[in-house]
Structure 1
Amino acid sequence: MSTPTAGPGFAPDPTIDLQGSPNRLGPKLPIPHLGIQPDATKPWWYIAGIVLAQFGLFVALLAPATVSIQLKITTLTDVPAEQASMTAMVIAPGALAAVIFNALGGRISDRTTSGLGRRRPWIVLGSAGLTLALVLIALATGPLLMAVGWFISQAFANLAFAAFLASVADQLPSEQYGKTSGLIGIAQNVGIMVATWLSAWLSGDMLALFLVPALIGLALMTLYALMIPEPVLKENRYPFNLRELATTFWTNPLKHPDFGLAWWGRALIVLASYLFITFRLLYMTNHLGLAAGAAAAAVAVGVTIYTVASMVASLLAGWLSDYLGRRKVMVAVAILLFGVATYMLLHAETVTAFYLVEAVMGFAYGMYVAVDLALVLDVLPDRENAGKDLGVFNMANALPQSLAPGIGGFLLANLGGGTDFTALLVAALIAAVIGAVLTMFIRGVK
């Protein structure tokens, strides 16, 4: 099916192949015109493909990030302070790779001239590279090789994720943003839940612990890649030079203040989240006093509760934001509630209390992710280069993840002796409060 005309006032663009690259699965869909938001809504099966892809990638990536790496580290040392330091050492370089390759991946996919489209090749190649890199972590014999493997894992995963998220901006009309954002939020949290359960079930087999989630991610991301009706660039319209490379990692917040404020809101809630998530298993063993196996199982139950609460919140918030046309107030309230919930963890002295806090955190985060992506898509500075701008925005996911292990590891190891989580969780609360305040200054979205 050919690309629809751009409409009055748009001259034919010789750099675009009008035939495009049709979807390989499902009934043929119209191929969007490059840089113009589609008017036609996508069918249910296409939205299902988006949701499954998000689920698969988060299973593959979040299993090691939340549990598996910490489980492997507990086999290397049983000293709490050393576990905290090793966790920071392994995870921090990978999060730095996420910062670099998310933005770079978005720019590369914007410029890709493959006959398969701009996004499809990177979704598949990134997922395959992630799978191989996770095998390297599984076979590593020490923290240094684990850190190298995690760096490579995050590099490939974020190449795939940047292309995936840009494809969502390419393909959906505005009226599907809120509901789809809510479903993506559910998929993200269900992915985390499944990842933690897989980690608990496979904890006795290090290769399966890393490989099984990776294969799930590869299969579902590839499935979605085959569903995309892609515009095709015949040639790049922009030179790729040092200036272009530098702007890959930058969207001017003075020129686009709403985008900048949304970026900081995301960065601060992710920082608040990962200050705890990075050390969640250690919280269970060193704060609540559980053995490693019991801690992994308790984390899996807690994440299940978190996920159910987030699913309820995502469905309600996504629908409500589309119905009311309001985004920022809901985002700000969600960030603030999440920060308060992280602080409540200081007063959880039993596993039951931990589960109650997980429910509050899940509701807050589900409400946040359901509305925040819709808010960001509404304030994108340049729709033709959506991959680049979303790559910059996703640095707000990745950069705090690179900072959280170092900040959290310092606070936990040096101020808490590996067992006192007060400084760590107070820092999470402060980050969330600032993020909520900044979000309220966004003007272009109600």
Structure 2
Amino acid sequence: MSEPHTLPVAVDEGGPGADTPSRGPELREPSGFLAGLALSYFGVYLALMTPVMFALAFKLQHISGSIESATHALGVVAGTGAIVGMIAQPVVGRLSDRTRSSFGRRRPWILGGAVVGAGALGCVGLAHTMPQVLIAWCVAQAGFGAALVAAQATIPDQVPARRLGVVSGITGVTTPLSILAGSALVTVLTGDLLRFLVPGLVAVVLVIPLLVILEDPQLEDTPPRHGVREFLGSIAFNPRRHPNFSWVMASRFLVMFGYAGIGTFFPFFLGQRFQLGETDVAKAILLVNVVSVVCLSMSAPLGGALSDRIGKRRPFVAAAGLIMVLGLLLLAFAPTLGIVVVAQGVIGLGLGAFMSVDQALAVQVLPNPDDNAKDLGLIALAGTLPQSVGPAVAPVVISLGNATALGGYGTWYVLGALTCLAGVFTIYRVRGVR
């Protein structure tokens, strides 16, 4: 049987604001690269998402003694940690682009970040006060953020343009799979230390195959020396010179803001609306995540593959965002746990397609091939910044929403749907890539 024909991604040549650079000659993807990359993504996301989705909420509730106090503490811890992570990613990305180690440009940061992150998670598990949790979680965010941005930079380094959708689709599945695995771990592991340490150690083990497979040559030219001011200035970019890159960042921020508050406050939402205890909340989250993972696992590779075949990105990103809007509204008004499960399935369908195609689109509008890791760090910042802004804003929105018939968490999810909708409209400001 002949191989199916894959169209090149459509480009609007000479369109206004077209700043998409050529990615140069056809890249050769190393054998086994996708499998190694997927394993590393799964491990890092397992270490990051298990605390964000489950373990941090339970840990802080154990320390504070009440859901109300834990809600505010979780907002501070998750928000501050996200700020640290979003700062670390572009900084580490820039450092990775300039690294001249014999171990390569990406490997030192992937391995070093995972080891530091795992150690910090162990400290979170051992912490007895909220400040201790806060400090250790910030270190964990920085460590795993470094590993993640270095791993992401291997995609434009290694993957040809015609394969971007497929690769992004497969790696996109790793996030929900890690959430599902994390929910299972939280159910099986009853102690705080194990709930944090085990995911961290798994991450360290799972990045190793990528380190072995990766073709990561040493940087030949010595990069120019910069002072602190010049180095920080080199991380920034000019939105007017690179409008496509700017609009992709804006769209991702808005869509991910709509999604960011779901997982962080989901245990409290279930406990308050349906009067569930911690054990029942953990079981409900596991059920919800099974449905979400199944839906996302279908839509992520399918969306990426169809986008590659048809040669368009923006319609898929927009459609995925609209599906997420529908799911968020279902969640906000859900009268039963069954509707919550359906809503999370719908959100999973949208999120899977969005993550895969949006990542492929982001790679295609990177401003400079020599700064791939730094620029992907900025794109990652647009996805992680909502994790900081969301928890900081959420307690106020939830408090005000408690006075309405919809309730605090319902109001929060409606706000998420509106910002997600704004992200759908924003993606059509991108020019040069259809």
Q: Flag whether TM exceeds 0.5 (same fold).
A: yes
Residue type of the alignment partner of 2:419: A
Contact 2:180 2:293 in 1 (8 A): yes
Residue type of the alignment partner of 1:421: Y
SS in 1 for 2:431: coil
Matches within 5 A, 1:200-219: 200-202=187-189, 204-219=190-205
SS in 2 for 1:231: coil
Please name the residue that 1:22 is paired with.
none
**1:193 CA displacement:** 1.4
Matches within 5 A, 1:33-432: 37=24, 39-42=26-29, 45-202=32-189, 204-416=190-402, 420-432=408-420
Contact 2:61 2:69 in 1 (8 A): no
Residue type of the alignment partner of 2:368: D
Structure 1, unaligned stretches of length 5 or more?
A: 1-34
**1:247 CA displacement:** 3.0
Tell me how far apart the structure 2 counterparts of residues 73 and 307 of structure 1 sit (CA, whole Å): 26
Please name the residue that 1:438 is paired with.
426
**1:139 CA displacement:** 0.4
**Which deviations, in whole Å up to 9, do the C-alpha atoms of 1:329-385 show, x marking residues without a partner?**
110121122123112112212221111011100000011012111101111110111
SS in 2 for 1:114: coil
**Which deviations, in whole Å up to 9, do the C-alpha atoms of 1:156-207 show, x marking residues without a partner?**
11111111111111111111101001001111221121112212221x2111
Structure 2 vs 1, CA of residues 36 and 427 (structure 1 numbering), >3 Å: closer, same or farther?
A: closer
Tell me how far apart the structure 1 counterparts of residues 24 and 170 of structure 2 sit (CA, whole Å): 20
Contact 1:140 1:146 in 2 (8 A): yes
**Which deviations, in whole Å up to 9, do the C-alpha atoms of 1:32-85 show, x marking residues without a partner?**
xxx965624425522111111111111111000111000112212343321210
**1:276 CA displacement:** 1.8
Q: Which moved more, 1:269-278 or 1:146-155?
A: 269-278
Residue type of the alignment partner of 1:106: G
Contact 1:103 1:390 in 2 (8 A): yes
Tell me how far apart the structure 1 counterparts of residues 403 and 134 of structure 2 sit (CA, whole Å): 23
SS in 2 for 1:290: coil
Structure 2 vs 1, CA of residues 229 and 68 (structure 1 numbering), >3 Å: closer, same or farther?
A: same
Tell me how far apart the structure 2 counterparts of residues 109 and 244 of structure 1 sit (CA, whole Å): 16
Tell me how far apart the structure 2 counterparts of residues 307 and 314 of structure 1 sit (CA, whole Å): 10
**1:226 CA displacement:** 1.9
**1:315 CA displacement:** 2.0
**1:231 CA displacement:** 2.2
**Which deviations, in whole Å up to 9, do the C-alpha atoms of 1:113-147 show, x marking residues without a partner?**
10111000000000000000001100010111111
Residue type of the alignment partner of 1:209: R
TM-score, scaled relative to structure 2: 0.91
**Which deviations, in whole Å up to 9, do the C-alpha atoms of 1:373-412 show, x marking residues without a partner?**
1101111110111011111111112211111111112212
Tell me how far apart the structure 1 counterparts of residues 260 and 331 of structure 2 sit (CA, whole Å): 14
Residue type of the alignment partner of 1:430: L
**1:243 CA displacement:** 4.3
Residue type of the alignment partner of 1:437: F
Tell me how far apart the structure 1 counterparts of residues 219 and 403 of structure 2 sit (CA, whole Å): 55
Residue type of the alignment partner of 1:162: V
* RMSD between superposed Cα atoms in Å: 1.7
Contact 2:400 2:408 in 1 (8 A): no
Tell me how far apart the structure 1 counterparts of residues 248 and 230 of structure 2 sit (CA, whole Å): 23
Contact 1:258 1:443 in 2 (8 A): yes
Residue type of the alignment partner of 1:188: T
**1:274 CA displacement:** 1.1
SS in 1 for 2:46: helix
SS in 2 for 1:385: helix
Contact 1:36 1:384 in 2 (8 A): no
Contact 1:81 1:413 in 2 (8 A): no
Tell me how far apart the structure 2 counterparts of residues 37 and 123 of structure 1 sit (CA, whole Å): 25
SS in 2 for 1:42: coil
**1:422 CA displacement:** 3.0
**1:263 CA displacement:** 0.4
Please name the residue that 2:3 is paired with.
none
**1:285 CA displacement:** 0.4
Structure 2, unaligned stretches of length 5 or more?
A: 1-21
Contact 1:53 1:217 in 2 (8 A): yes
Residue type of the alignment partner of 2:174: A
Residue type of the alignment partner of 2:264: T
Tell me how far apart the structure 2 counterparts of residues 256 and 397 of structure 1 sit (CA, whole Å): 19
Give 4+ residue runs of structure 1 displaced > 4 Å after superposition: 35-38
SS in 2 for 1:445: coil
**% identical aligned pairs:** 27
Contact 1:127 1:217 in 2 (8 A): yes
